[in-house]
Amino acid sequence: MFRLAILGAAAAAIFATSVPTPTAAQSVLDEIKQRGELRVAGVLYRPLIARRPNGEYVGMDVEIMKRMAADLGVKVNFVNAEWATVVPGVETKKWDLVPALCITDKRKESIDFTQSYVTIGGTLVSLANNPKGLTTVEAHNRPEVIFAVPSGAWSEAVAKEIAPKATHKAFAQSTSADLIQEVVAGRADAVVLDTPNQTTTAMAAFGDKIRIVPGHNKPLEIRTGTCLVGYGYMKGDKKFGEYLDGFTKKLKDSGQLAALMKQFYTAEQIKGE
């Protein structure tokens, strides 16, 4: 009996070593190719992604996703989505990736991100002929400089971080258009606008009458209100991540991304006109 037990144990050991160990989970990239479809979360953020009344998705990210699908040899399908559910949707494989998504530490606990392809951040906007000489960030940080700020909004936090010594004139329930009118009318010296969205519409409306510091498409180097935009995908999927980063790099290096930025970052596209 003892000898049989030894032989049985030996046979079990041989069987265990001969059975292949489970392979790693299949990459979403392989699943996309197998099903012949790239599924994208249809969250709305102009001009990156918007939806027409007939349900058609349009925008810069839509064009990028079409090019990605063509590169993969599959079709693209935009799935209706809301911002509150985009991360769980990646985890449950309701969609393969999410465009137009701010990269945050909290979200990185659940999903992975590509390299950023757009940076949204605050800028300081004043009249170009303002007599207080608001040509630098530092020049705004003086008591005699009046900021028009929306009460409790991110731009108020930016103004107080970047220019704590300035005078902050708060307005309740005001839009960026309302606030810049305070500057144009001379009732305030400066306002915080995000770039590239709000600065694009401001430039279309006022042209060289306004000054943007540090500049259009050049946000302040602060963390408050800054959004590095990337594509979110399944956490730990290295193969898909490498493909996405490689594809984004090709768009940048070829000049296609810059061309798409120029095409879609217009006042008309941002406003949806």
Query: What residue ranges do the domains of the chain occupy?
Result: 28-118+228-271, 120-213
pLDDT at 16: 40
**pLDDT per residue as tens digits for the range 227-261:** 999 999 999 999 999 999 999 999 999 999 999 99
pLDDT at 24: 53
Would you say 116 and 230 are in contact if contact means Cβ atoms under 8 Å apart? yes
Would you say 198 and 217 are in contact if contact means Cβ atoms under 8 Å apart? no
Q: How many helices (H) and strands (E) does the chain have?
A: 11, 12
pLDDT at 223: 82
User: Can you give the pTM of this predicted structure?
Assistant: 0.84
Question: 76-80: long-range contacts at Cβ-Cβ below 8 A with a sequence spacing of 24 or more?
Answer: 76/37, 76/38, 76/40, 77/37, 77/38, 77/39, 77/40, 78/40, 78/41, 78/42, 78/49, 79/39, 79/40, 79/41, 79/42, 80/42
pLDDT at 267: 95
Torsion sign across C-alpha atoms 80, 86, 88, 94: positive
pLDDT at 9: 39
According to CATH, the superfamily of the domain at 120-213 is Periplasmic binding protein-like II (3.40.190.10)
CA distances from 198 to 87, 182, 240 (A): 27, 15, 33
CA distances from 80 to 8, 50, 62, 77, 229 (A): 57, 11, 13, 10, 20
Q: How far is CA 256 from the centre of its chain?
A: 18
Q: Using the 8-state DSSP alphabet, how is residue 84 labeled? A: G
Would you say 190 and 211 are in contact if contact means Cβ atoms under 8 Å apart? no
- Please choose, from the candidates 161, 114, 165, 160, the residue with its C-alpha nearest in 3D space to the C-alpha of residue 143: 165
The first and second tokens of residue 223, run together, are: 């963390």
Low-confidence residues of the chain: pLDDT under 50: 1-23
pLDDT at 13: 41
Strand partners of residue 150: 171
CA distances from 28 to 32, 90, 97 (A): 6, 10, 9
Architecture of domain 28-118+228-271: 3-Layer(aba) Sandwich (3.40)
* Domain 28-118+228-271 matches domain 120-213 at the CATH topology level: yes
- Burial (CB < 10 A; 0-12, 13-18, 19+), residue 38, is buried
Rounded CA separation 45/120 (Å)? 12
Which bin fits 142, alpha (ψ -120 to 50), beta or left (φ > 0)? beta
